[in-house]
């Protein structure tokens, strides 16, 4: 067993990209004979080291810092209207999580469009009305102050204080002599509540509330409820003063939002997205582990222009979809998730666009009677692993995960946690380095400014569940799925970059060996990033 201190230092070095994954594997080599169980003492050491690193990495995450430097509920939205980060106050106020959409905030697409128009017209904060879940048409809106953060292509929204920190609460007690009941009433006044609404909230009579309001007005030296409410809101807001005016949103901002939805299948949440032209030609988009699920603006723009109604199901472990049950086959579970979403929309016939490993569930869906599939367009897919050479030919920092999954599941989980740590350290703009660093032409392509918004938007999609989706993908990749390609009259088109380093062109012969009738189109000069560099062609 490796020395404890040296192991912790090595884990930290790997997370900081000062050591390679291979170095850690060498250190753990004596324990790799265990296919499934990590020695208890070693597991404890690794868990302790990782937990400490994850705490620190989260604190330095730029998106995390954007929303956690506020005492008020705060959240960050990307340009398509999806929540990419939120603090505890916002999570509790709106009963929401990262990955949710405008619906969770009670904000209509029209209101969000007008909000962006204001930010593109004049620099500085603007306002947006939001509503909590379950609010009726007469409910008082929650007012959010929003500004645009150019560097991260993100809108930061802060709720006008609905409450104040304990320090301000104590100050109202000490300075003005307000009782606990009077402070609670003052807080409700600052939210714009009437005497009747306050009485309902507190379970008191309207007469009692009016008497308490009169008393607190005298103590505050205020002449009206409006003055008292303004004083309270100002005091609370002063604790959270915005120090920046925000950036001016480009007049060419992304105006092709997607709607965010979820449903439950056997008590598991399944997230899904929709963009393009509602009611248009239905396309099922099955994402891979590299380019999000409709996070790049060109995908949404082109879907709308071509009249496509795109349904993007967040596959197990990605976004908001929970990992499959350990007792269920992961591939079958993904199929049932997808069929549940399409069934809820009464969609029975689709064309499938899949990225990378998502070809496998796309092919598996073709075996199900519950859906009619016109055909599958597969981008940058790797064939079944028939030979060790396929893995050895991949860039080392990509291949090592497949090697780990084939050898010891616990090692794959460890490496994925370290991968997420690296992503957090790199942040929303630079995280693709964990995939493409040193790999051309992909590294050059993914750094283009035109792709920056999609890169930032996809960040949360992958880190939300600490890499659980990639682990699910590894589970289905190492299975023998070649028989799915043997279907007679298989309507499948493979599109591949001639410079794809992850799956060299020569390896595509494995597809042809299994099914000689498959259609394969090579795009000259493109790599794995073909999915986002040639969106219109796809």
Do 267 and 376 belong to one domain? yes
Do 376 and 509 belong to one domain? yes
Do 113 and 143 belong to one domain? yes
439 belongs to a structural domain: no
Contact 489, 345 (CB under 8 A): no
59 belongs to a structural domain: no
Do 112 and 152 belong to one domain? yes
354 belongs to a structural domain: yes
511 belongs to a structural domain: yes
Do 178 and 219 belong to one domain? yes
Do 185 and 309 belong to one domain? no
Do 127 and 151 belong to one domain? yes
Do 278 and 337 belong to one domain? yes
Do 77 and 133 belong to one domain? yes
- From CA 114, how far away is CA 523, in angstroms rounded? 40
Beta-bridge partner residues of 265? 268
- Farthest CA pair distance, the chain: 88
Contact 313, 464 (CB under 8 A): no
The last residue of a domain, from among 159, 180, 197: 159
| Amino acid 415: pLDDT | 83
Contact 295, 431 (CB under 8 A): no
58 belongs to a structural domain: no
3-class DSSP state for residue 276? strand
Instruction: Write down the pTM of the prediction.
Output: 0.76
Provide the token pair at 461.
């999609």
In Å, how far are 255, 355, 449 from 528, measured between CA atoms?
Answer: 27, 10, 18
Domain count across the chain: 3
Provide the token pair at 21.
């994954």
Contact 236, 190 (CB under 8 A): yes
Of 186, 241, 239, 190, the residue nearest 213 (C-alpha): 186
Domain that holds residue 303: 259-388+483-533
119 belongs to a structural domain: yes
Do 197 and 322 belong to one domain? no
Q: What is the CATH number of the domain that holds 209?
A: 1.10.10.10
The last residue of a domain, from among 238, 271, 300: 238
Of 259, 262, 295, the residue nearest 275 (C-alpha): 259
| Amino acid 29: pLDDT | 62
Secondary structure element (H or E) that encloses residue 522, with its range: strand 519-523
| Amino acid 269: pLDDT | 93
Q: What is the CATH number of the domain that holds 380?
A: 3.40.50.1820
Q: What is the CATH number of the domain that holds 149?
A: 3.30.450.20
224 belongs to a structural domain: yes
Do 281 and 359 belong to one domain? yes
Query: Which residue ranges in the chain fall short of pLDDT 70?
Result: 1-5, 28-45, 47-60, 69-71, 137-140, 161-168, 233-245, 251-254, 388
| Amino acid 526: pLDDT | 95
Show the DSSP H helices in 478-536 as ranges.
509-514, 530-533
- From CA 535, how far away is CA 299, in angstroms rounded? 6
- From CA 147, how far away is CA 66, in angstroms rounded? 12
517 belongs to a structural domain: yes
State the SS3 of 249-272. Answer: CCCCCCCCCCEEEEEEECCEEEEE
Do 322 and 222 belong to one domain? no
| Amino acid 144: pLDDT | 86
């Amino acid at each position: 067993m490796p020395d404890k201190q040296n192991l912790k230092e090595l884990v930290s070095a790997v997370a900081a990209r000062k050591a390679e994954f291979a170095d850690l594997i060498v250190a753990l080599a004596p324990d790799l004979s265990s296919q499934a169980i990590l020695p208890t003492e070693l597991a404890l050491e690794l868990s302790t080291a990782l937990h400490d690193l994850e705490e620190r990495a989260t604190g330095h995450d730029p998106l995390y810092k954007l929303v956690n430097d506020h005492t008020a509920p705060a959240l960050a939205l990307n340009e398509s209207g999806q929540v990419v980060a939120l603090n505890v106050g916002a999570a509790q106020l709106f009963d929401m999580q990262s990955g949710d959409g405008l619906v969770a905030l009670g904000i209509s697409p029209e209101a969000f469009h007008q909000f962006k128009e204001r930010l593109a017209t004049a620099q500085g904060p603007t306002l947006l009305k939001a509503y909590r879940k379950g609010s009726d048409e007469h409910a008082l809106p929650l007012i959010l102050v929003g500004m645009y953060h150019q560097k991260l292509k993100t809108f930061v929204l802060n709720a006008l204080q609905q409450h104040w920190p304990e320090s301000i609460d104590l100050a109202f007690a000490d300075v003005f002599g307000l009782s606990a009941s009077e402070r609670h009433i003052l807080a409700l006044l600052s939210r714009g509540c009437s005497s009747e609404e306050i009485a309902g909230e507190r379970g008191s009579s309207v007469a009692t509330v009016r008497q308490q309001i009169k008393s607190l007005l005298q103590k505050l030296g205020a002449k009206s409820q409006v003055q008292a409410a303004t004083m309270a809101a100002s005091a609370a807001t002063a604790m959270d003063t915005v120090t920046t005016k925000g950036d001016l949103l480009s007049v060419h901002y992304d105006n092709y939002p997607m709607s965010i939805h979820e449903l439950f299948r056997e008590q598991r949440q399944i997230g899904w997205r929709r963009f393009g032209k509602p009611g248009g030609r239905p396309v099922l988009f099955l994402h891979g582990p590299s380019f999000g699920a409709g996070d790049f603006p060109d995908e949404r723009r082109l879907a709308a222009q071509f009249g496509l109604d795109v349904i993007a199901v967040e596959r197990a472990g990605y976004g908001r979809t929970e990992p499959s049950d350990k007792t269920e086959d992961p591939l079958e579970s993904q199929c049932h998730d997808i069929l549940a979403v399409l069934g809820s929309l009464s969609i029975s016939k689709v064309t499938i666009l899949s990225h990378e490993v998502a070809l496998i569930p796309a092919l598996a869906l073709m075996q199900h009677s519950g859906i009619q599939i016109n055909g599958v367009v597969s981008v940058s897919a790797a064939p079944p692993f028939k030979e060790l050479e396929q893995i050895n030919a991949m860039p080392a920092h990509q291949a090592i995960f497949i090697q780990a999954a084939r050898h010891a599941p616990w090692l794959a989980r460890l490496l994925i946690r370290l991968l997420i740590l690296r992503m957090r350290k790199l942040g929303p703009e630079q995280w693709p380095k964990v995939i493409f660093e040193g790999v051309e032409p992909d590294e050059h392509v993914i750094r283009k400014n035109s792709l920056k918004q999609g890169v930032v938007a996809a960040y949360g999609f992958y880190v939300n569940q600490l890499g659980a989706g990639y682990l699910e993908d590894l589970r289905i990749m190492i299975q023998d799925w070649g028989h799915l390609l043997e279907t007679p009259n298989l309507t499948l088109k493979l599109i591949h970059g001639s410079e794809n380093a992850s799956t060299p062109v020569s390896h595509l012969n494995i597809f042809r060996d299994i099914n000689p009738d498959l259609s394969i189109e090579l795009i000259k000069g493109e790599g794995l990033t073909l999915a986002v560099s040639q969106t219109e062609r796809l």
